[in-house]
Amino acid sequence: MHLRADVTLHTAALFVHLASLVLGFGAVLSIDYYGALWLTGRKTLREVLDFTAPLHMPVWAGLGGLLFSGAFLHPDLTSPLTCVKLGLVLVLSLNGVQASALHRRLAALDRGPVPRSLLIRGAVTASVSQIAWWGAVAIGFLNSRH
């Protein structure tokens, strides 16, 4: 099954796809960078939460833009790589919902120590996010060469 678009629509979809990647993945990288600053003691948890709270919208907007525009980029749904990429996008979406819940749990802490379970959950969340985003980007690159 293929969705075909003419050259003009394909070019516009490619631009939206790349802009959405910059928006969504850029926000994710900023969130993870601030998390690393907190883990190294260079930012407080409150500073990190205040900085990252508004970044959830660009992450979701970028992911939505990638999904929408990707439909116009001739995805080969019979390709195993494309199926893996779609699986990674599903993982990203579910992980994003979980990350939002984690953000709320951390924000609810009353400046006390962060429980070990939340630290582990945060590390797993960030790791899953990075693996899924970079995996989807790599597969997108490989698929664009065909």
Distance CA(18)–CA(15), nearest Å, equals: 5
Backbone torsions φ then ψ of 122, nearest 5 degrees: -65, -45
Specify whether the CB–CB gap between 140 and 18 falls below 8 A: no
Q: What is the pTM of this model?
A: 0.88
Per-residue pLDDT 10s for the chain (146 aa) are: 555 668 899 899 999 999 999 999 999 999 999 999 999 999 999 999 999 999 999 999 999 999 999 989 888 899 999 999 999 999 999 999 999 999 999 999 877 789 999 999 999 999 999 999 999 999 999 988 76
